[in-house]
């Protein structure tokens, strides 16, 4: 009754899903690595994944072959039954359990040339059959041994497989059997009186039932006919546990020698078979309604995928939940991951020198001459003071500043690391992503990096000079009157005392100068702890106080000092970013925004559309 | 048959090892050492885990020692349908447990089979949720047999989809409640079930310290799979001296009919009689206990092995950071000592002045010192070293914090850097609070630590400076040098006086030249002062010679004084404790293994879990 090569109605109907299936697979593949990083459940371990990637994708637009597999527990006689159904010894049977390591497929003649077995059975490496020992090979790769039916009796569209066990001590056997189960349309379930209610066996067949695969039950090793009466009870338990509604039930008597010789008698149990027919399992396989069975299995697979509780949608839910937890973790990290650096008061001449350099070309000759006189006199006074040990030279003061600044930065680094440690201790998610980084790193290298950056940072960088010039130019444009005052001989010995906060994603900064440094997700923020003091004694002699309204100049001076401090703080941010956190910040950001990925929304829309079709 | 418990003495004399009897004194020692060791470092998380496992194991070891002579409990376990109940019925001589092929699982209540005269008050029947059945069968006369529920029908994962009849199946939970009470496991398997993953998992969980009997049933129907089963068991770490093969149904039929037992069944009952009863039972129990102790140490060592390397790195880190801080301290102290030239001068001057009395030069030095001390009073000596060189206490009056230590070069930042680096290394070795403190010391700790550091450094430096000064004092201590300088100083004085006398008596009185007047004396006074200062400089040059070298030598002895230890004390202590914990664990493991190696197999037919699965 099997159909020929012309596409049938059923075939055409599931071929219409091809685009959706391909797109869904692409979306899942795109989200898969992100899901792994998020800690979302592994899709490979789910039934919907098996149905989508193992069943729908390989079969939705391919020549519809009917895949039937013999499955069951260890040493229940799967290989002997498979050999009997095929009518040839394709898979070696041994008295020892769990010896079949690889599935063996018997293909109808000519099929191997028409289809790519690698695509039909994803996850397997197809190997042409050489002997019945092939299935026993102890190798790590997932092989699928195949041969074409030599007799020509096998129906043109039927593929028959023997599979490894589903309950033995070798877990890879289970996985191989599950891959075959996902791909097949018909399962020949081999049960025994010892193994019809084992949890592992039940779980395996329950998944097949959920995917609406056609199941033919064979109770093997039955004491026939003594145990005939028992079979209904056993089947009742099995059906209630798994949801399997068997298409047919057979009993194979316990006759070890006959089985070894390839002579297995299948006694039909018509009272337990829905159609009541007493045909042999091989006949039933050969003459079943292929299209109906195939469509049922494809539709079943689709139902598994769109199932709201256990399907792809549930995985997307878990994906989004995980992303939400990462968002939360990111938020908490932003709160915890900020350190305030109490830098020493900047040597004021550093900023002032730059201002003077800017002013120089704008000043009158007389003014300059006066300034120069004062400056020379001031230098003399300073020289004398230094000799007397009452003052320190610029050089010494800068060294002092440098040492104190480095100490402050190091302390801030230690503080930051301790905060992260605490954050990890409080939240397992943050521990997961930052913990290994914090625990495995060589912290001495962090400090060395900070020291190196600090040593390499000039007191006044070219970038800062540019920033000062730019700020002053801007100021001069906006406040021509104030500049006029400056130019008539203004001098203010003012200094702003900044405090820096380096942190993750700081927002709402009170004063963020143009040069405020950001490195990766780290922001340097400058606050002012001291007011700008206008009119204090000038540090540089000759640049004496002149009357300027503080109101106009204050923001400018703050900005200039803030710019300088921001540059100092940036090296800490860089060390934190480059060597302490590495790419972790970007990673957290990536995970936190995972739920907003367009793939998620697209997958949901597609699922929704597919689900409506089956509603 | 009367139980043979009373045949053997209650205890075996210590050291009796003949005939495979374990050395119980050695065993007691190992158990006590393990008890102490497992609780030795409660602050370390891995050690707490070891302790948790010990608490699981300890009651069993204790029971093995206490209940040396009671009968053994043999738990019959295996997958559903393997014929456990049938075998139990055959051994009990009657149908004590439901068996058959009607429905799986068959056994839902554990059946405890014991002879009528065996007192079971010690058996936790309640906890096992079992039912006691008495039997007169000779096979169970001297053992207690438990027909256990199967491990393979309960769902693998709780809370599956929908409601299935098996959701109410708790056989594996029941099994796990029964097995702890068993001393020996009788593992039943068939050709279909001997490679069952679930059964293997349960056996692996309960096999440590429990000898096993392996039985293949369904002999009349299934092929002989014993060779393959043995390979499988050996790959799981078992030693398998023997596997019995029998047909339970046939055995039960023959027993019920009073016929000669089936050969496989007779082998099993003979083995039970020979290897689980009487004196053999004591041996089984002891070997089991020792196996359990070995298993525990093996588990613990396997868990701890991964921490050995991080612990060594942690300990090395403590040394490195200590050296770093000592380097900073040495550098700062050396620089400070070398730059405090005037303080040294004063100190040495005081020494010289104190020792030299009498003579004009001494008087000159005293006068200069008096003027100098006035100068000192208006310039207070600053910092620890300043205070020490000025002969004051190292710890400042106003309490101590980082400020006080800063002069020693050890700023808060430097100390925190070291502590943060060590905290990282410690975390790798899973060392955390409370074993070690935080990287940043809190205010109280800073006070304490700084005070200790200052006190120790002050004491050590004080002693060092004292030594240096004493040694230098020795150079000028002799009267010869003093009198040479007195002579040199006096020589100018005398020259001046003689010249003045010559001028007056010879020049003025004799030759009639006018008196020079005060002019000469003023001039002479200046020269005397200058000469005195030159000599004073000479004395100090002598005393000061090689001071820098000596300071370097003093500073180089600084690490030996372990001055910075209080700053890292918690880390150092933790590294030492964790290391010795690991060492002790290894040593005890070796001791337990050595003891086990001296033992013979518990009995020819009993299997044991000996190692890790491969």
Which pLDDT belongs to residue B500? 82
Instruction: With cut-offs at 50, 70 and 90, classify the pLDDT of residue A533.
Output: very low
Percent of chain A surpassing pLDDT 70: 83
Q: How far is B529 from chain A (nearest CA, A)?
A: 27
Q: How far is B229 from chain A (nearest CA, A)?
A: 8
Gap between the Cα atoms of B187 and B199, Å rounded:
9
Mark yes or no for CB contact B424/A200 under 8 Å. Answer: no
Instruction: With cut-offs at 50, 70 and 90, classify the pLDDT of residue A497.
Output: low
Instruction: State how far Cα B361 lies from the chain centre.
Output: 66
> What's the average model confidence in pLDDT over B80-108?
87
DSSP string, A367-420: HHHHHHHHHHHHHHHHHHHHHTTSS--HHHHHHHHHHHHHHHHHHHHHHHHHHH
Taking contacts as CB-CB distances below 8 angstroms, the residues of chain A near B436 are none
Taking contacts as CB-CB distances below 8 angstroms, the residues of chain B near A243 are 162
- Residue A234 pLDDT greater than 60, yes or no: yes
> Coil, helix or strand for B611?
coil
User: Which of the residue ranges A54-58, A341-345, B552-556 has the most confident prediction, judged by mean pLDDT?
Assistant: A54-58
Write the CA distances from A177 to A304, B21, B339, integer angstroms. 19, 50, 83
Which pLDDT belongs to residue B596? 83
What mean pLDDT value characterizes chain B? 84
- Residue A490 pLDDT greater than 80, yes or no: no
> What's the average model confidence in pLDDT over A389-405?
77
Name which of B156, B194, B421 is nearest A443 (Cβ-Cβ). Answer: B421
Write the CA distances from A315 to A294, A304, A305, A312, integer angstroms. 26, 12, 10, 5
Instruction: With cut-offs at 50, 70 and 90, classify the pLDDT of residue B17.
Output: very low
- Residue A10 pLDDT greater than 50, yes or no: yes
- Say if CB A142 and CB A117 are below 8 A apart: no
Name which of B160, B223, B413 is nearest A256 (Cβ-Cβ). Answer: B223
Predicted-complex ipTM score: 0.78
Comparing A341-350, A414-423, B478-487, which segment has the lowest mean pLDDT? A341-350
Residue B168, classified by CB atoms within 10 Å of its CB into exposed (0-12), middle (13-18) or buried (19+), is: exposed
Which pLDDT belongs to residue A250? 96
Token pair for residue B325? 């801080």
Which pLDDT belongs to residue B481? 82
- Residue B311 pLDDT greater than 70, yes or no: yes
- Residue B392 pLDDT greater than 80, yes or no: no
Name which of A95, A408, A439 is nearest B428 (Cβ-Cβ). Answer: A439
Given the DSSP bridges, would you call strands A143-148 and A104-107 parallel, antiparallel or unpaired? parallel
Which pLDDT belongs to residue B325? 92
Instruction: With cut-offs at 50, 70 and 90, classify the pLDDT of residue B511.
Output: confident
Name which of A76, A198, A233 is nearest B103 (Cβ-Cβ). Answer: A233
Output B614 or A256, whichever has higher pLDDT.
A256
* Chain B residues 421-450 with CB within 8 Å of chain A: 421, 423-425, 427-428, 438-440
- Residue A551 pLDDT greater than 60, yes or no: no
Which pLDDT belongs to residue A267? 95
Taking contacts as CB-CB distances below 8 angstroms, the residues of chain A near B423 are 417-418, 421, 443
- Say if CB B304 and CB B514 are below 8 A apart: no
- Residue A392 pLDDT greater than 70, yes or no: no
Output B373 or B269, whichever has higher pLDDT.
B269
Comparing A42-51, A57-66, B402-411, which segment has the lowest mean pLDDT? B402-411
User: Which of the residue ranges A254-258, B305-309, B409-413, B526-530 has the most confident prediction, judged by mean pLDDT?
Assistant: B305-309
- Residue B382 pLDDT greater than 70, yes or no: no
Given the DSSP bridges, would you call strands B143-147 and B72-77 parallel, antiparallel or unpaired? parallel
Q: How far is B417 from chain A (nearest CA, A)?
A: 6
Instruction: With cut-offs at 50, 70 and 90, classify the pLDDT of residue A482.
Output: low
Per-residue pLDDT tens over the stretch A141-160: 999 999 999 888 899 889 99
Comparing A387-396, A486-495, B188-197, which segment has the lowest mean pLDDT? A486-495
Which pLDDT belongs to residue B4? 39
Per-residue pLDDT tens over the stretch B438-488: 888 888 888 888 888 888 888 888 888 888 888 877 777 677 888 888 898
Per-residue pLDDT tens over the stretch B534-571: 988 888 787 777 788 888 888 888 888 888 888 899 99
HSE (CB half, 13 Å, CA atoms) of A313?
17
- Say if CB A144 and CB A121 are below 8 A apart: yes
Which pLDDT belongs to residue A615? 66
Name which of B82, B197, B416 is nearest A200 (Cβ-Cβ). Answer: B197
Give the mutation candidate from A77, A192, A194 for the B interface (greatest B CB count, under 10 A): A194
> Coil, helix or strand for A267?
strand
Which pLDDT belongs to residue A483? 65
> What's the average model confidence in pLDDT over B218-223?
91
Q: How far is B495 from chain A (nearest CA, A)?
A: 40
Per-residue pLDDT tens over the stretch A317-335: 999 999 998 888 888 877 7
Comparing A600-609, B37-46, B149-158, B404-413, which segment has the lowest mean pLDDT? B404-413
- Residue A539 pLDDT greater than 60, yes or no: no
Which pLDDT belongs to residue A358? 80
Write the CA distances from A445 to A404, A440, A572, integer angstroms. 20, 12, 14
Gap between the Cα atoms of A93 and B238, Å rounded:
27
- Phi and psi angles of residue A43, each rounded to the nearest 5 degrees, phi first: -65, -30
Q: B144 has which bridge partners?
A: B73
Enter the pTM of the model: 0.78
Which pLDDT belongs to residue B159? 66
> What's the average model confidence in pLDDT over A405-411?
89
- Residue B301 pLDDT greater than 50, yes or no: yes
Output B23 or A101, whichever has higher pLDDT.
A101
Contacts 24+ apart (CB under 8 A), A370-378: A370/A489, A370/A542, A371/A542, A371/A543, A372/A542, A373/A542, A374/A541, A374/A542, A374/A543, A374/A544, A375/A540, A375/A541, A375/A542, A375/A543, A376/A542, A377/A541, A377/A542, A378/A540, A378/A541, A378/A542
- Residue A270 pLDDT greater than 70, yes or no: yes
- Residue A262 pLDDT greater than 50, yes or no: yes
Per-residue pLDDT tens over the stretch A556-588: 777 777 777 777 877 888 888 778 877 777 888
Q: How far is A149 from chain B (nearest CA, A)?
A: 30
Which pLDDT belongs to residue A535? 35
Gap between the Cα atoms of A107 and B501, Å rounded:
142
| Dihedral Cα A501, A503, A506, A509, nearest 10 deg | 10
Per-residue pLDDT tens over the stretch B586-611: 999 999 988 888 775 555 678 888 77
- Enumerate residues 6+ apart whose C-beta is below 8 A from B266: none
- Say if CB B564 and CB B514 are below 8 A apart: no
- Go through chain A and tell me how many residues it has: 615
Q: A107 has which bridge partners?
A: A148
Given the DSSP bridges, would you call strands B238-239 and B608-609 parallel, antiparallel or unpaired? antiparallel
Q: Which helix (H) or strand (E) holds A421?
A: helix A394-426
- Say if CB A572 and CB A521 are below 8 A apart: no
């Amino acid at each position: 009754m099997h159909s020929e090569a012309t596409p049938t109605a059923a075939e055409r109907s599931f071929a219409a899903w091809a685009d959706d299936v391909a797109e869904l697979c692409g979306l899942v593949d795109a989200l898969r690595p992100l899901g792994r990083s998020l800690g979302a459940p592994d899709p490979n371990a789910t039934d919907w994944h098996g149905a989508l990637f193992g069943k729908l994708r390989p079969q939705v637009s391919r020549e519809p072959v009917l895949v039937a597999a013999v499955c069951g527990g260890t040493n229940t006689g799967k290989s002997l039954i498979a050999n009997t159904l095929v009518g040839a010894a394709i898979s070696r049977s041994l008295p020892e359990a769990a010896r079949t390591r690889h599935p063996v497929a018997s293909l109808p003649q000519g099929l191997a040339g028409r289809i790519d077995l690698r695509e039909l059975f994803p996850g397997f490496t197809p190997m042409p059959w050489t002997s019945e020992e092939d299935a026993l090979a102890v190798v790590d790769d997932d092989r699928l041994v195949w041969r074409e039916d030599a007799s020509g009796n096998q129906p043109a569209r039927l593929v028959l497989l023997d599979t490894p066990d589903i309950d033995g001590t070798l877990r890879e056997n289970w996985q191989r059997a599950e891959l075959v189960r996902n791909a097949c349309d018909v399962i020949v379930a081999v049960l025994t009186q010892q193994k019809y209610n084992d949890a592992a066996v039940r779980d395996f067949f329950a998944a097949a039932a959920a995917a609406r695969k056609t199941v033919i039950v064979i109770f093997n090793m039955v004491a026939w006919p003594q145990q005939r009466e028992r079979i209904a009870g056993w089947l009742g338990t099995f059906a209630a546990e798994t949801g399997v509604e068997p298409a047919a039930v057979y009993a194979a008597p316990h006759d070890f020698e006959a089985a070894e010789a390839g002579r297995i008698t299948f006694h039909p149990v018509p009272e337990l078979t829905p159609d009541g027919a007493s045909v042999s399992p091989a006949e039933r396989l050969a003459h079943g309604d292929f299209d109906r069975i195939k469509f049922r299995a494809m539709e079943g697979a689709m139902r598994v995928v769109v199932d709201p509780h256990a399907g792809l949608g549930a995985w997307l839910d878990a994906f989004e939940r995980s992303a939400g937890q990462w968002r939360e973790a990111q938020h908490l990290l932003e709160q915890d991951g900020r350190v305030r650096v109490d830098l020493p008061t900047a040597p004021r001449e550093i900023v002032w020198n730059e201002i003077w350099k800017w002013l120089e070309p704008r000043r009158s000759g007389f003014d300059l001459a006066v300034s120069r006189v004062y400056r020379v006199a001031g230098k003399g006074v300073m020289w004398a003071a230094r000799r007397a040990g009452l003052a320190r030279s610029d050089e010494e003061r800068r060294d002092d500043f440098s040492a104190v600044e480095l100490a402050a930065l190091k302390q801030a680094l230690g503080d930051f690391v301790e905060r992260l440690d605490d954050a990890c201790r409080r939240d397992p998610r943050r521990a997961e992503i930052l913990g290994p980084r914090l625990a495995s790193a060589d912290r001495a290298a962090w400090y060395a990096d900070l020291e190196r950056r600090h040593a390499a940072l000039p007191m006044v960088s070219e970038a800062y000079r540019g920033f000062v010039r730019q700020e002053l130019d801007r100021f001069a444009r906006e406040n021509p009157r104030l500049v006029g005052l400056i130019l008539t001989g203004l001098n203010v010995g003012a200094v702003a005392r900044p405090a820096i906060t380096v942190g993750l994603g700081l927002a709402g900064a009170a004063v963020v100068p143009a040069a405020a440094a950001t490195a990766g997700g780290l922001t340097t923020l400058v606050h002012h702890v001291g007011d700008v003091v206008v009119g204090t004694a000038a540090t540089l002699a000759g640049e004496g106080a002149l009357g300027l309204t503080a109101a106009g100049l204050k923001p400018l001076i703050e900005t200039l000092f803030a710019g300088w401090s921001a540059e100092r703080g940036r090296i800490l941010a860089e060390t934190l970013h480059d060597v302490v956190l590495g790419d972790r910040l970007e990673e957290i950001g990536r995970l936190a925004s995972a739920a907003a990925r367009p793939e998620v929304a697209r997958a949901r829309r597609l699922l929704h559309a597919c689900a409506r079709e089956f509603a | 048959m009367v139980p043979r418990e009373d045949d053997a003495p209650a205890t075996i004399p210590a050291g009796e090892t003949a005939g495979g009897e374990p050395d119980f004194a050695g065993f007691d020692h190992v158990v006590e050492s393990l008890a102490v060791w497992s609780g030795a470092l409660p602050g370390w998380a891995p050690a707490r885990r070891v302790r948790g496992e010990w608490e699981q194991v300890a009651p069993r070891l204790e029971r093995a020692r206490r209940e040396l002579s009671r009968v053994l409990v043999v738990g019959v376990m295996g997958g559903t349908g393997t014929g456990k109940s049938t075998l139990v019925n055959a051994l009990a001589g009657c149908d004590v447990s439901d068996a058959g092929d009607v429905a799986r699982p068959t056994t839902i209540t554990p059946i405890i089979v014991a002879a009528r005269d065996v007192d079971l008050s010690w058996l936790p029947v309640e906890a096992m949720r079992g039912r006691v059945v008495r039997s007169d069968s000779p096979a169970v006369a001297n053992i207690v047999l438990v027909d256990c529920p199967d491990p393979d029908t309960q769902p693998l994962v709780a809370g599956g989809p929908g409601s299935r009849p098996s959701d109410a199946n708790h056989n594996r939970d029941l099994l796990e409640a029964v097995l702890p009470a068993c001393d020996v496991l009788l593992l039943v398997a068939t050709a279909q079930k001997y490679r069952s993953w679930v059964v293997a998992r349960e056996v692996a969980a309960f096999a440590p310290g429990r000898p096993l009997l392996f039985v293949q049933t369904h002999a009349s129907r299934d092929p002989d799979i014993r060779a393959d089963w043995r390979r499988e068991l050996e790959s799981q770490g078992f030693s398998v001296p023997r596997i019995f093969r029998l047909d339970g149904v046939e055995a039960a039929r023959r027993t019920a009919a009073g016929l000669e037992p089936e050969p496989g069944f007779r082998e099993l009952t003979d083995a039970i009689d020979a290897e689980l009863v009487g004196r053999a039972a004591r041996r089984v129990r002891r070997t089991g206990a020792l196996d359990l102790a070995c298993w525990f140490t093996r588990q613990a060592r396997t868990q701890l092995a991964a921490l050995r390397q991080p612990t060594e790195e942690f300990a090395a880190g403590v040394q490195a950071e200590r050296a770093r801080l000592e380097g900073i301290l040495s550098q700062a102290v050396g620089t400070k000592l070398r730059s405090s030239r005037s303080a040294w001068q004063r100190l040495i001057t005081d020494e010289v002045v104190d020792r030299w009395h009498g003579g004009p030069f001494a008087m000159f030095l005293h006068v200069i010192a008096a003027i100098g001390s006035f100068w000192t009073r208006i310039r207070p000596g600053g910092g620890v070293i300043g205070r020490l060189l000025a002969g004051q206490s190292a710890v400042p009056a106003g309490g101590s914090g980082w400020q006080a230590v800063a002069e020693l070069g050890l700023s808060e930042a430097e100390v925190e850097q070291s502590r943060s680096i060590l905290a990282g290394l410690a975390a790798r070795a899973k060392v955390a609070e409370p074993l070690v403190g935080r990287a940043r010391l809190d205010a109280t700790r800073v006070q304490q630590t700084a005070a200790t550091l200052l006190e120790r450094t002050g004491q050590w430096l004080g002693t060092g400076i004292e030594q240096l000064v004493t040694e230098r004092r020795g150079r000028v201590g002799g009267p010869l040098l003093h009198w040479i300088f007195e002579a040199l100083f006096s020589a100018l004085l005398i020259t001046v006086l003689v010249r003045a006398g010559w001028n007056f008596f010879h020049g003025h009185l004799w030759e009639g030249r006018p008196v020079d007047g005060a002019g000469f004396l003023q001039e002479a006074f200046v020269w005397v002062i200058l000469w005195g200062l030159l000599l004073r400089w000479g004395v100090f040059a002598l005393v000061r010679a090689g001071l820098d070298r000596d300071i370097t030598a003093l500073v180089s002895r600084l690490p030996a004084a372990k001055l910075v230890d209080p700053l890292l004390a918690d880390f150092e202590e933790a590294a030492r404790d964790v290391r010795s914990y690991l060492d002790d664990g290894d040593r005890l493991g070796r001791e337990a293994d050595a003891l086990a190696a001296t033992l013979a197999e518990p009995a020819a037919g009993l299997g044991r879990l000996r190692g890790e699965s491969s």
